[in-house]
Structure 1
Amino acid sequence: MNSLSLFNGVGGVSGLSPISGMQGNGSSQDASVANLLNDIAKLIDGGGSGQGAGASGAAAGNGSAVSQFLSDLAAMLSDPKGTGAPSGTGAQAGSPAGGYGNFTAMPGNAAPASGYGGTGGAAGAGNAAGSGGSTPASTSTPVKGVSTSGAAPEGLSTAPQTQALSPAQSKQAADAYVSNLQKDFGLTKDQAAGIVANLWHESGGMNSGINQGGKIGAPGSNMADDNANGYGIAQWGGTRKQGLIDYARQHNLDPSSEAANYGYLKQELQTSQAGAIDAVKKTNSAQAATQAFCNAFEQPSDPQMASRLGYLNQILA
């Protein structure tokens, strides 16, 4: 049969819908295309009265699959929203509902992988149902000891300090520092305790909001790097004192808080003061760790080592 005569609605096949119906717009055009495709499907399946002698044999192979495809395409055109409720008059009774997902009958086609299809796709592991798949969770592992947020270290407060700690509170803060330092830098308890003994000495009992001289509260405005204007758990002065204030502002913390003091200490030990951690890691006793941190990090003109070692005993008790 001449293909031109087919598309002009003439020829030996009965039931063909004239292509001239496509002159219309909107649903009438869609219905005409749907009718045409359904008629082609009938032609392939042998439903027309003017088939040649070998047509039925040719259709017996993959004709049914092609017919299914064309019928599904017709259903899609008749139901452009994929709702299963045909909007045009050309959809045949029994056409597959929801035309968008009905093309798996064609050879070589398969159902979409779970979670990666379009809207309405099955939910795969970690994917939202029908969302077409979600963005995979990040597989990068944070570098050990590197803070990725301003969250408070375990056991340390984000509240501003307004009064000096009691002995019991000092011990509690010291224990929290030891635990966090062990976790963040891979230290032994003795090594971490040596660091904290220095901090206890410098801050008069783990007071994160202490100005040099004993006043508790916000840092003083004098930023001189001298022996009179230190601030915080490590009695930072000069540019390092400003560094604590900047760190607190960046992480929405009060500079007098335990969380801000520990966070800034941790940042220094990861960067500009990393040598102090290296020195502590080379020690094999709490006393040696205390001395190593004092020399590498605090670098005081008068170490007062007996005081630092005395606080070490309290921390380890």
Structure 2
Amino acid sequence: MSALGGAAVSSTAAPATGLSAGYPLGSPPAAVPKDGGRAPPSVYARGPAVRTPLAPAKALAMDENTASLPSKGRAAAPLADAASLMKGVPAMDIFVQYERAFSIQDALDQHAALAEQREVLMEIGRNRLRVRQTQLSFAELEVEEALDSTRAMSAAAASDVQRVMQTASRVRAAVRDLRLASRMRQTEQGVVNRHVALADAEIEKSRQEMTSMKEVIDDKSLVLATDDSQPAPSTPVDADGNQLQQRYKYCTNCKVGGHGQRFCDYFLERPSWRIYPNQKWFEDEKGNEYHCPLGKKLVDFADESHFSRIAIGRPGLERACVDEK
């Protein structure tokens, strides 16, 4: 009795687990009826494990890992090659900008420099667009190759989830590279167009300046500048004998120094003022050049007081003292 009693006590204290309780996996099912009945047959079912579909987050992670693996024919190599080629192509920078010219030769030289700069920018732009177009073509070929490999996939390969995920990730990566290459091509085209437009605007400013110089040179109302000891020149008249009138007021920068050019800039802010070009007047024994208005004409303002109707110094001061100040 004691042995049987001990056995009874031990069986009561340690409930049966595992196969001794009749459960196939060594542990009771998650839900066992409290009334002692059997659990549904699905709890005890045995068979091959069913592959469940991957969650979106896990599929995305697998896609990123697969895309990072080296693959023959991927567009990553063309993209990297295009990036390295772009480093060797000069940038679209404008180094020569329009500046106000006070002589015919300076205006011609500036216009030639601006036109040459535009040609250089056009050549650089063509090279940069050629590289971007090559990059885009490689990306398109990669997308076509990825789609062809997807269409040629066999039924056995299509049943392999890992193989399908790798193929899908390759297609996504190819499409992503194609989208990036297309966006970079459009961006590069916009940069080229913008810089060429800026170069054209600078050339147009120079062209308008030369046109204005041509108009003021043809003005016959200006007279020659003379010394006080010489008689005043005759006033120009038209075919009817009427005195010619100036259409604009003219200023000339004779490169004397000081504030002469600043005064010219202030006058030119007014719509009634125009630049009258300068020319070489003479050269002293030290090689210093002196300039005067073209044709030694008398203009409304010039920093060379002999050719100016408006003086920038006070009467009674010596010219050398004024120039020094």
Name the TM tier (shorter chain): under 0.3
Tell me which structure has the larger Cα radius of gyration. 2
Higher strand share: 2
More RCO (CA 8 Å, sep 6+): 2
Higher helix share: 2
TM norm structure 1: 0.23
TM norm structure 2: 0.22
